[in-house]
Amino acid sequence: MRILALETSAKAVSAAVTEDGALLASAFQCSGLTHSRTLMPIVEHILKNTDLKLSDMDAIAVAVGPGSFTGVRIGVATVKGLALGTDRPCVGVSTLEAMAWGARSLGGSLCCVMDARAGQVYNALFEVDGLTPRRLCDDRALKMTELSEIGEAPYFLVGDGANLCYNTIKDSCTGLRLAPPELRYATGFGVAAAALPLIREGRTCTPQELDAFYLRRPQAERERMKRLAENK
């Protein structure tokens, strides 16, 4: 079971190729360059160096959100195009769940957080059972201070919002620990790991069915709706 997996939900961009859960190749870049500039060269590079083609993949997976609206759109649109051109099935996975799969070797409880701006985070909680992350809640958007509800339970903070959350609520959540930097961010490998059980269960989709998952409306739309409400 070969999977090409892409992750573009935040500042970093990543891609990986796995076979039956084993990593064949991966690349990760967090240089500040736009994903539209970096993603396809990364994909082409890892395919070339594994001597594989898109047609050799059993499925193409992507993190569909939550995350940056632009970043998520780039990842989803890229996978749609790649899958349409090669008649491959698609798999969309939660960015937060991809983080949990990438950090599962930490064991215990994982608090996955992405900076959603305006004092909010995208969050989901997981418990690692063996090497399988088990969800404790749905993906959600909430204020950082609301995370204090997890209390003093020991959690590893994973995600690009980990440092921000730790510095904001560490006094009220004394059990929080920062995951090591190399395990903190969503990666193509995490996406592939999260997608593998879905593929085995037959839970793939066509490129036309693949869609982004946003927990909040884009900022421009929120501002437009606010203006409309004020003018009523």
**Could you report the per-residue pLDDT of 32-55, keeping only the tens digit for each?**
888 999 999 999 999 999 999 999
Instruction: Confirm whether pTM is higher than 0.85.
Output: yes
pLDDT greater than 90 at residue 222: no
In whole angstroms, give the CA distance from residue 182 to residue 21: 19
Q: Which residues contact 23 (CB under 8 A, 6 or more apart)?
A: 16, 17, 189, 192
pLDDT bracket for residue 215 (50, 70, 90): confident
Amino acid occupying residue 146: E
